[in-house]
Each structure stands twice: as structure tokens, then as C-alpha cells.
Amino acid sequence: MSRALPPLRLLTVFEAVLRHGGVRPASAELNVSQPAVSQALRQLEAHLGATLLDRSTRPAGLTEAGRLLHRATAEGLGLIAEAIEDIERLNAGVGPSATVACSVGFATYWLMPRLAGFYDRNPDMAINVMTTQQGAPGLTAGVDIAIRYGDGKWNDGVVTHLFDERIDPVCSPALAARLAEAGGGLEAATLIHVNVEDGRWTPWGAYLRRAGLPAAGRRQGLHFTNYVQATQAALAGQGVMLGWRSITGDLVREGRLDYAMDATVVPEDAFYLVAADRPRSPAAVAAATAWLAGEAARPEA
């Protein structure tokens, strides 16, 4: 089997070109010339007897053979990198670890503020946090646990329900007071929007319909691409955002945000933990899973 495999050097070049989106940045990372990178790609195609790149487009796209190889190469090199990290930790006497993938909002406002509690209980273990900008995190190479918002119907790992969500309009306490003085509605408020591709995250229009409220907000409002930006704008008193329990719950309890009005919507979806069937460190994943489930079950979570 090993004789049928191309040299690892060629696969590394192929993966770097696709990850960076071009020959020039790949050559800089690999510290070789651009012609050397191009030659390595041609050698890889010759070894496989297949065209991997569609050079008729700019930038070059992948052929079907290229997509197959890229998927396998990215996963394989990722596993090799993770194994090397595990070996380095073993040699350094570092304890087992679990990698948790979640959205940047969940990591910033729910997971990170609680993480010290895990280390208090598990001083010899580590949790590595990997964030995603859009969509449900996958159990890709190197990921042991994915925190997902959805219906829980996934079959790529062991699914554990963490907590249900709730949506409330929130803003700074000062803005909440001004809105209350004006009658308690949102008609004249500046609404903070988060533009995401995942339709599971309820936008303002859907929220207002479900809450039985009239159209609200100044026409344009403020628009952001993730909930961290939106939350910072709300904290600064720039408008009213849709506060999700996982993101703004702690901020409301701390008094840094307040409810703009009493109009809670409970979506059908919830937060779940999805653990890999064959984790790299079963002990660390078991400890992280138990701790996350325990934190999610706390009344203030």
C-alpha cells in the first residue's frame, strides 16, 4: 500500500495551496519558491494519473479527483498534527486534553467565564477551545466535543442535551430606562441585527411575529456578522439586541444588560453537546462532558 502513496512532501504542498488559496502564500509558508510549488503539484498529478486542479479558472478550482484528495489529505494531515501534539505533550509530561468546538459567541460569553471551574476540579487536564464563525461546529480531525445549537438529531457522535434557549430583547440599563419612560415599546428603538446564514438563529422579524409584537425599530438599525460584535454594541448602549440565554444570560444577571421589555420567546431548538465516538483522550472527554453537563444544569446557566 505504501508504494501506491505519493510522497508526503507532495501532499503537504497540495494541502497548503488549497488552504491558502494560491501558490504564492503556500510557497511563503513552506519556504520554497513558487515554481517549486507548481512543480510539486504537477508531480502529484503525474503520480496519481489524474488532474487535480482546473487551471481554466482563476483562481484554479478543484476537479472531482482534487476534491476527493483534498478531503482525505486535510483530514489525514490534521490527524498527524494532532498525534504529534499528543506525543509532545506526553514527552513534556502534560496531562490529557479535550478540544471543544463551539461558536465564538458561546465561547466568549458562556464557556470561557466558567472554564476556571473545570481546572479547579481537573488540574491535570486541559480544554482547548476552537471557535467557528458560522454554522454548527463539526467533529473534524482534532475535535473531541462540538457544542451545537439545533434539534439534536445528529448521528456523528454521542449527543447530550445541555439546555434550552430563550430569547429576550436586551440593552444597556440606561437605554432600558429611557425606553420604559417612553412607554416601554420598541417602535423607536435602534435594533441591533446579526446577519447569519444559519436560519436556526431567530432574526428580529421572526421574533416579533412569535412574540405577537408589532413591527419595531428604526428602519436601518445596526447590522453585525456575529453575536460578540452585537453584544458589545448593546453593552455600549447603541441599541436593543435579541439576547440569547447562552450569550447574554450572565450579562443580565450581572446587571450589565437589562431586559428592554418582558417578551420571552422559547425556540424549539436547544444547545447540545456532541462527543466523538472515539476521542483521543477518553478520560479528558469524559471529564469535560460531565463538567459541561453539570454547568448547563445549574439554575443560573
Q: What is the pLDDT of residue 107?
A: 94
What is residue 146's predicted lDDT score, i.e. its pLDDT?
95
What was the pLDDT predicted at 54?
85
Q: Write down the pLDDT at residue 1.
A: 45
* 110 and 45 fall within a common domain: no
The C-alpha R_g of the chain, in whole angstroms, comes to: 24
Residue 264, in any domain of the structure: no
Distance, CA of 144 to CA of 198 (rounded, Å): 23
The grid cell for 63 is 476537479
User: What ranges in the chain are assigned the alpha helix state H?
Assistant: 8-20, 23-30, 34-48, 64-92, 104-106, 112-121, 173-181, 204-211, 227-235, 245-253, 282-297
Q: Sheet of 191-194: strands edge to edge?
A: 222-224, 191-194, 240-244, 167-171, 258-259
Count of domains forming the chain: 3
pLDDT tens-digit profile, the chain (301 residues): 445 788 999 999 998 888 888 888 888 889 899 999 999 999 999 999 999 988 887 777 889 998 899 888 888 888 787 778 767 765 555 568 899 999 999 999 999 999 999 999 999 898 999 888 767 788 887 889 999 999 999 998 999 999 999 999 999 999 999 999 888 788 889 999 998 877 788 999 999 999 998 877 666 789 998 899 999 999 999 999 999 999 999 999 999 999 999 999 999 999 999 999 888 788 999 999 999 999 999 877 6
Domain extent, residue 151, equals: 95-164+269-297
Q: Return the C-alpha torsion angle 100, 105, 108, 109, nearest 10.
A: -110
pLDDT 10s digits, 7-20? 999 999 998 888 88
Residue 299 amino acid letter: P
Q: Which residue has the cell 495551496?
A: 17
Does one domain contain both 177 and 253?
A: yes
Domain shared by 233 and 192, yes or no: yes
Instruction: Note whether residue 213 is domain-resident.
Output: yes
pTM, rounded to two decimals: 0.68
CATH number of the domain enclosing 21? 1.10.10.10
- 22 and 135 share a domain? no
pLDDT for position 255: 96
The three-state secondary structure class of 61 is strand
Residues 154 and 285 in one domain: yes
Is the same domain home to 53 and 188? no
Task: Kindly state whether residues 7 and 84 are assigned to the same domain.
Answer: yes
Cα three-residue angle 41-43-49, rounded to 5 degrees: 100
